[in-house]
Amino acid sequence: MGTKNFSNANDLITFSRASGGTALRKVAYGSELVTNGTFDTDTDWDKGTGWSISGGVASYDGSGGTSAINQDMPVDFVVGRVYQLSLTVVSNTGAGVNNVYVTPTQQVSGKHLDAGTYVFNFSATSTNARVYVYGRSGETLVIDNISVKEVLFDQGDLTLFNHPADVPRIEYDADGNVLGLLVEESRTNLVTYSEDFEQWVDVNTDLTENAIEAPDGTTTATKLIADTATGQHRRDYLSTYSAGTYTFSIFAKVGGYNYLELRLGGDGVYVDIRDGSLGGASAGITTSYEDVGNGWKRIAITHSAGANDTVRINVVETSEQRDFTGDGTSGIYIWGAQLEAGAFPTSYIPTAGATATRSADVASIPVADFGYNQSEGTVFVEARNTENCDVLALIDDGSTDNRIRLYESGSNVVGLVSVNTTNVAVMVTTQSVATDELKAAIAVKKDDFATVANAGSLATDSAGDMSVGLTDLNIATSEAGVTNGAVHIKSIKYYPRRLTDAQLQELTT
């Protein structure tokens, strides 16, 4: 039997996520598909009643009811590929929904568009590439700079990219190293205005909105400025939630001051944005610090919070000095606030006036697709950031009755084989393993089972058989098809035989 190698998650994996999902990824863009998207001339566009082109913009006067300006793009879409549509709304006097379509039936936006620049990422469902922007009765709408380009993944610049539903996320670190396929549980961002800090409660601050480029490549980051008052300089947000464990996070960048304080309820911690060093942490708080490139850091705190506790971002003058007299110009840059129920931060979920939920990633491969051997075999997984991972790999028949399971328990890796609800092999590795980079394998054969992690000592079991039919290899997903936790899967390999002990240790080195 020959070896099958798959480098693209779409080639083999059955993948679903019922919502968008962000990840730091290398992204480039193809050629422009819109002709005269800057409206330099009154050409190339079909104008519905009430629409006109003049002075480098397209305008709708409200006289045509629900009316669109539209054009056929010269190149068809490729179904399943990801594209990006962007446009600028110069002004809009109405309050109705301004639908945006990219085919006669595929809607990419169904909301009111205030003045600003909008970016919509979508996976094409039809080859019929035609862009429509709708004005509403009685409103005057002025638009400019309509663009549609294909998204080219894993090349170009690092960007915090918002992937459309059902598109796998291959994430990178800030140095451009591949972390792997990001698989996460579902979470909800309880902050309803994650990028609009004008909606937060002000205490002695000024804002410069759209000040610099944000981690997602748009010029939407806010400068939070300490005004000339003496005291604290902060923005507060009050959300509605029950008591429990929560994680509050923000993207931050130095903007004259080097420090901030994050608080959840009455507890908080001071953070040096430059290197993540901490000061004055309240008891029970845990923190995380992630470099996302271009000077941006994502800083998070996790704590047990009371019901409806306030979250807070303080500008800090020196390492633990939150009460000071500001100069009216210095501050910090902020973007992408998130409050989520859970003991660790997950990927950013943008909001704009309401809470938003990112669905769970669910990934699996039918065993029929890779020549599964029922009698014996080896599963190898290379993963990163596994500290919050429930399952690394699982081959099962859709139940908990029959399964081959590789997972972490505390700081150890465990291999489990079950037949007809009975655990015939349980193998717990004895050495602690680093969660930032893990290589682990489980080998299965009648009366000859083994599990190993990071070339450590093998955990073995010498009694039992795996004689029932299994159907799917689930990736970081449980027997119930549920994703619990978060992990990056860098590589997964299956061998249709039980590798030798020496091969297992070499493979996991």
169 found inside a domain: no
Looking at residue 506, the DSSP 8-state letter turns out to be H
Pick the closest to residue 443 from 397, 484, 499 (CA basis). 499
Q: Are residues 243 and 266 in the same domain?
A: yes
Using CA atoms, how far apart are residues 434 and 409, in angstroms rounded to an integer?
A: 13
The tokens describing 72, both together, are 């056929």
Using CA atoms, how far apart are residues 236 and 403, in angstroms rounded to an integer?
A: 48
Q: Are residues 339 and 285 in the same domain?
A: yes
Q: Do residues 295 and 230 make contact, with C-beta atoms less than 8 angstroms apart?
A: no
Residue 235's identity, in one-letter code, is R
pLDDT at site 6:
52
Q: Are residues 354 and 214 in the same domain?
A: yes
Q: Are residues 139 and 201 in the same domain?
A: no
pLDDT in tens, 375-417: 999 999 999 988 888 899 999 998 889 999 999 988 889 999 9
Q: Do residues 165 and 80 make contact, with C-beta atoms less than 8 angstroms apart?
A: no
Q: Which domain holds residue 283?
A: 189-358
16 found inside a domain: no
Q: Give the HSE-up count for residue 69: Cα atoms under 13 Å, Cβ half-sphere.
A: 26
pLDDT at site 481:
75
What contacts 224, CB < 8 A, 6 or more positions away?
Answer: 197, 205, 207, 233, 235, 255, 313, 315, 331, 332, 333, 334
Helix (H, G, I), strand (E, B) or coil at 392: coil
Q: Are residues 97 and 219 in the same domain?
A: no
Phi first, then psi, for residue 502 (nearest 5°) are -65, -40
Q: Are residues 27 and 148 in the same domain?
A: yes
Specify which residues 92 forms β-bridges with: 141
Using CA atoms, how far apart are residues 184 and 4, in angstroms rounded to an integer?
A: 27
Residue 90 CB coordination number (10 Å) = 15
Domain end: 328, 358, 388, which one?
A: 358
Using CA atoms, how far apart are residues 419 and 455, in angstroms rounded to an integer?
A: 28
pTM assigned to the model: 0.93
What contacts 175, CB < 8 A, 6 or more positions away?
Answer: none
pLDDT at site 467:
72
Q: Are residues 210 and 344 in the same domain?
A: yes
DSSP one-letter string for 291-314 = EEETTEEEEEEEEEE-TTPEEEEE
451 found inside a domain: yes
465 found inside a domain: yes
Using CA atoms, how far apart are residues 440 and 509, in angstroms rounded to an integer?
A: 9
Chain position carrying tokens 């020959």: 2
List % helix, strand, coil for the chain (3-state, nearest 5): 5, 50, 45
Question: C-alpha angle with apex 16: 14 to 19, nearest 5 degrees?
Answer: 165
The percentage of residues in the chain with a pLDDT greater than 70, rounded to a whole number, is: 97
pLDDT in tens, 438-463: 999 999 999 999 999 999 999 999 98
Residue 125 CB coordination number (10 Å) = 13
By residue count, the chain amounts to 509
Q: Do residues 209 and 246 make contact, with C-beta atoms less than 8 angstroms apart?
A: no
pLDDT at site 8:
55
Residue 426's identity, in one-letter code, is V
Q: Are residues 397 and 310 in the same domain?
A: no
Using CA atoms, how far apart are residues 139 and 486, in angstroms rounded to an integer?
A: 45
Q: Are residues 68 and 101 in the same domain?
A: yes
Give the residue ranges of the chain where pLDDT is below 70: 1-11, 434-435
Q: Are residues 203 and 349 in the same domain?
A: yes
Domain end: 358, 387, 410, which one?
A: 358
Residue 504's identity, in one-letter code, is L
6 found inside a domain: no
Domain end: 97, 132, 156, which one?
A: 156
pLDDT at site 371:
87
Q: Do residues 292 and 217 make contact, with C-beta atoms less than 8 angstroms apart?
A: no
CATH code assigned at 448 = 2.60.120.200
pLDDT at site 466:
81
Q: What is the mean pLDDT of the chain?
A: 94
Using CA atoms, how far apart are residues 360 and 188, in angstroms rounded to an integer?
A: 11
pLDDT at site 419:
93
Q: Are residues 349 and 259 in the same domain?
A: yes
Q: How far apart are the first and last CA of the chain?
A: 26
Residue 42 CB coordination number (10 Å) = 12
The tokens describing 118, both together, are 């909008």
Question: For the chain, what is the domain count?
Answer: 3
Helix (H, G, I), strand (E, B) or coil at 365: strand
